[in-house]
A and B are shown apart, each in its own frame.
Chain A
Amino acid sequence: MSDRDESDIDPRAEQVRYDQARYVENGQYEPLLSEKDLTRVEIGGSDGDGGDDGDDGSADGGSPLPDDLTRDSLELPELSEPELARHYTRLSQMIYGIDSGPYPLGSCTMKYNPKFTEDVAALPAAAVHPDRSERSTQGTLELMYRLQDYLGRIGGMDAVTLQPPAGAAGEFVGIRVAAAYHEHNGEGDRDEVIVPESAHGTNFASAALGGYDVVSLPSDDGGRVDLEALEAALSENTAALMLTNPNTLGLFERDIEEIAEMVHDVGGLLYYDGANLNALLGRARPGDMGFDVMHYNVHKTFATPHGGGGPGAGPVGVVDELAPFLPAPRVRENGESESELGYELFDPEHTIGKVHGYQGNWLVLVKAFAYIARLGDEGLADASATAVLNANYLASQIEYDVPYEPFHHEFVASAGDQDAADVAKRMLDYGVHPPTTKWPEIVPEALMTEPTEVEGMETLDRLAAAFNAVAGEDDETLADAPERTTARRIDQTSAARSPRLSWQALESDDE
């Protein structure tokens, strides 16, 4: 657009272009909050004692507050509703979502989410204030209770808290619960958490946030936990081992029962990272494998659209022994106390307290409940079956090497001599979202791929065709990619070297 001779453009067409894409000017997408839209509002103006008694202060332009308690002015864009509608519609057109096409990001479980869950989360009765009485929120409490119960059955866990607002927050709760448990047993000096080197980065960060030294555990030649290395890492200092199963290579840790025994033998706890639960639904349960505590990424395994980065929810399930340490409050059914209410909140006996101001991302929990209730036993088991079939089928159709198998819902291919990040950029040109790249580091130039259960054979074939087209291309083509996207290759180095993080920073640059 920028290299077109502007004089060739009919002025009326120019107007149309402006209306349709308000923020495309000089070939650039201007930020909404730029100076051309700004309106400055002056604030203050009362005599300083705040003595205006009660009339509507905004009408006369004076502030109902004294000058010394207010700012001088506020400067923000002032736009009409239609302008805003077009602005955000335009922005949405510059985004690839799962409703746009396949999104095979390994370990992220980007699957289609049914639309009806949005409608149930938008029910007026879902929008209640968190400080409402238990008596007046029996519906909210019942839904929470029923979701706790569903999740407990699915994970093989005895007690569940819904409070953590994301998977990483769930990990942190698991770590805090483990710490409280050890402390309670007079073993508060356990100061190490063991994490396989292929684990999600959040595991390391959550353990560190909990104050633990992180012991990194290497994998064996087959890509699984190296039992000898585990033996060496375990000690009386071990508070917990954090593990996902299947692991990030999609491989099931077949020795899980032995691993659990080894960890329990030294008095440690076994933590399950629920990021890969999608592969196990209805086929195996972390609780049955010996895990003591786990988090569920309900926004991945069940349903909530990822919303460009959140919100999610990371409920945590535990075995009976750990239940007294869970965050407060939890929900229980009448009959467990003297209360006359059907459902009530209670604080677990040795609770760690709270990890969120209230009860986490409630609307996400509503969606997860609706999704599970919709699918039922058969639907959940079918989801894992199809996820695993799809991963295996896609892997069988691509020309890149897949070094580790048999994998479940995801696999890690190697781009070999190609740069995996470049492969990803080039795949964008073929109209599909690329896999996760360069991780886990066990596989060189990793292309970590998870098609999920929602993709049909036709889509998988199209994905495979994109993989294969890129596999045959030279480095120069890859380095220039993408060429068919809204923006071409973006300079991330300069973005980090001279950070400009607001329109104000851009403006001061221009001056």
Chain B
Amino acid sequence: MHGSHATGSPYAPHTEEDRSAMLEAVGAETVEDLFDIPSDVQFEGRFDIDARTERETRRLVRSILGRNDDLTELLGRGHYGYYVPSLVDHLADRSEFLTSYTQYQPEVSQGFLQALFEYQSLLVELTGLEIANCSMYDAATALGEAATLAERVRDTSGHRVLVPDLLLEGRRSTLENYVAGTDLAVEAYPTDDANADVGALEGLVDEETVMVYAENPTVRGTIEEGLESIGALAAENDALFVLGSDPIALSVLQRPADVGADVVVGDASVLGLPTSYGMGLGLFATTEDYLRQVPGRLVGASEDATDRRAYTLTLQTREQHIRRERATSNICTNQAWVALRTAMHAAYLGPNGMVDLAERGVTRADDLAERLDDIVSVKAPVHDRHHLREFVVRVDQPAPAIAGDLEKRGFAVHVVGDHELQVCVAGVPDERIDPFVAAFEEVVR
């Protein structure tokens, strides 16, 4: 069946005979005749990209990526190296999942729709809010979408979006871009020992405030203690309370619905995806009140013509392909396959596994902090708070030099201040902890 494709695409299927027959059917002599491109703008040059065999291409990518150092990553701040069970890879890679499109024809997409419905249900349980969409790109873009939602649903005018001063630069900058086309302005409120300074926030929130954002755990790995007060402050001022978190943290920490959160955002890819250089899965959940203003896709339950349960994309009149410039968001292609992986990983763990994983993030962080704190000239954790997964360490020497020395010994940590490093235990195998502590002792000596 297959002709030779010595110079053509290896994935284009025609033999020379097919090609001739098809050209004859369309009444053209050559394929070039089918292109209606004025000669002035035709491209006559070359890209100078050599074709390779599949084997050569694999070797090329392997050799390029092989230049990455093999490090034990004690890095966190939203991306964690939790072990992803083989089951997730094998099932998510089933080609029906992998090679299908957005479920615009639900009658032949029931399996994916049900999986996304289950993902939404998972987030509803974790957040206590009534509605979750079936994905945004990542935590940063979900935060941006939360701000534009706040602007749409707020009864009165106002322009202030309050975020903690310890917000990740990627999140803050993305948020700034999302609100650039609105009247909103992003302002920082102070933190105290990495948690929200609720007293200071009280003086800042006013009727001009449309949104207050907090994170739990915070970017420094501390567990936020003032959520109920922040929720109340926001509610008193008719501002949206947006909370950033993730599925593992939400397994044990205060339920967002119970502290007055109106929207929960964050990166759900902590489950199901390895640390893929920041590739994520934007979590977005909110209350029923904002159903018609939710960005992104929603899967709903319905019935088919024989009254059987069936699933379908729903409320699509909010979306860009129908509502165009009045859509709730411009998102189209989302992170559906990552959401599938996250749901699979969560289902694999079950509630016991999720709670265990979260609680081990507390105890292992405590243990490691204690061991580092025992080293002369090192203080850990710096913040006198409860910690989940990660914490800040103070060192006498310049932090970048310490981090560089640790890297030479095979360990990656964050530099978060001139004399501050941040260390994360999530996903770090137990047997790497002792060598890390030993290396740390050496480099601060």
Q: Which B residues are in CB contact (< 8 Å) with A223?
A: none
Bound-state CA distance A382–B47 (Å) is: 14
Can you name the residue of chain A whose Cβ is closest to the Cβ of B324? Answer: A204
Bound-state CA distance A450–B1 (Å) is: 23
Bound-state CA distance A120–B302 (Å) is: 39
CB 8 Å contact bits of A76-95 with B (1 = contact, 0 = none):
11110100110111111111
Can you name the residue of chain B whose Cβ is closest to the Cβ of A378? Answer: B7
Please state if A130 and B108 are interface contacts (CB–CB under 8 Å).
Answer: no
Please state if A130 and B275 are interface contacts (CB–CB under 8 Å).
Answer: yes
Q: Which B residues are in CB contact (< 8 Å) with A33?
A: 118, 121-122, 125, 347
Q: Is A70 an interface residue (CB 8 A)?
A: yes
Please state if B252 and A43 are interface contacts (CB–CB under 8 Å).
Answer: yes
Can you name the residue of chain B whose Cβ is closest to the Cβ of A113? Answer: B99
Please state if B35 and A388 are interface contacts (CB–CB under 8 Å).
Answer: yes
* Interface size of A in residues (CB-CB distance below 8 Å): 204
Q: Knowing A201-B321, A383-B9, say if A69 contacts B225 (CB, 8 Å).
A: yes
Q: Is A428 an interface residue (CB 8 A)?
A: yes
Please state if A495 and B300 are interface contacts (CB–CB under 8 Å).
Answer: yes
Please state if B367 and A307 are interface contacts (CB–CB under 8 Å).
Answer: no
Please state if A501 and B43 are interface contacts (CB–CB under 8 Å).
Answer: no
Q: Which A residues are in CB contact (< 8 Å) with B10?
A: 114, 374-375, 379
Bound-state CA distance A4–B371 (Å) is: 66
Within 8 A of A (CB), among B76-118: 77-79, 81, 85, 87, 89, 91, 93-112, 114-118
Bound-state CA distance A32–B68 (Å) is: 40
Q: Which A residues are in CB contact (< 8 Å) with B360?
A: 56, 58
Please state if A310 and B78 are interface contacts (CB–CB under 8 Å).
Answer: no
Q: Which A residues are in CB contact (< 8 Å) with B108?
A: 95-96, 428, 433, 482, 485-486
Bound-state CA distance A480–B255 (Å) is: 46
Q: Which of B96, B305, B314 contacts A95 (CB 8 A)?
A: B96
- Closest approach, in angstroms, between the C-beta of A82 and any C-beta of chain B? 10
Within 8 A of B (CB), among A193-209: 200-202, 204-209
Within 8 A of B (CB), among A152-172: 153-154, 156, 165-169, 171-172
CB 8 Å contact bits of A96-121 with B (1 = contact, 0 = none):
11111001010010111110101110
Q: Which of A50, A92, A130, A209 contacts B94 (CB 8 A)?
A: A92
Q: Which B residues are in CB contact (< 8 Å) with A137?
A: 68-69, 277
CB 8 Å contact bits of B355-370 with A (1 = contact, 0 = none):
1100110110011001
Q: Is A14 an interface residue (CB 8 A)?
A: no
Q: Is A261 an interface residue (CB 8 A)?
A: no
Can you name the residue of chain A whose Cβ is closest to the Cβ of B35? Answer: A283
- Closest approach, in angstroms, between the C-beta of A189 and any C-beta of chain B? 14
CB 8 Å contact bits of A39-52 with B (1 = contact, 0 = none):
11101000000101
Q: Is A20 an interface residue (CB 8 A)?
A: no
Q: Is B380 an interface residue (CB 8 A)?
A: no
Can you name the residue of chain A whose Cβ is closest to the Cβ of B341? Answer: A307
Interface 9-mer from B158-166, B168-176, B434-442 = B168-176
Q: Which of A74, A204, A397, A500 contacts B301 (CB 8 A)?
A: A500
Please state if A374 and B52 are interface contacts (CB–CB under 8 Å).
Answer: yes
Please state if B100 and A95 are interface contacts (CB–CB under 8 Å).
Answer: yes
Q: Which of A150, A201, A425 contacts B327 (CB 8 A)?
A: A201
Which of A27, A39, A116, A202 gathers most chain B CB within 10 Å?
A202
Which of A53, A81, A251, A361 gathers most chain B CB within 10 Å?
A361
Bound-state CA distance A72–B258 (Å) is: 10
Please state if A382 and B101 are interface contacts (CB–CB under 8 Å).
Answer: no
Q: Which B residues are in CB contact (< 8 Å) with A254?
A: 36, 38
Interface 9-mer from A138-146, A230-238, A469-477 = A138-146
- Closest approach, in angstroms, between the C-beta of B389 and any C-beta of chain A? 12
Please state if A76 and B346 are interface contacts (CB–CB under 8 Å).
Answer: yes
CB 8 Å contact bits of B4-44 with A (1 = contact, 0 = none):
01011111111000110111011110011011111011110
Q: Is B139 an interface residue (CB 8 A)?
A: yes
Q: Is A499 an interface residue (CB 8 A)?
A: yes
Please state if B36 and A408 are interface contacts (CB–CB under 8 Å).
Answer: yes
Q: Is B209 an interface residue (CB 8 A)?
A: no
Ordered nearest first, which 10 A-B pairs have the shortest CB separation?
A358-B278, A211-B181, A307-B337, A376-B51, A309-B336, A130-B278, A382-B8, A91-B111, A97-B99, A94-B111
User: In the complex, given contacts A490-B107, A490-B305, what are 14 additional A-B residue pairs having Cβ atoms less than 8 angstroms apart?
Assistant: A77-B350, A96-B108, A98-B99, A131-B414, A139-B67, A165-B279, A166-B334, A167-B332, A202-B320, A357-B141, A388-B35, A490-B304, A495-B302, A501-B298
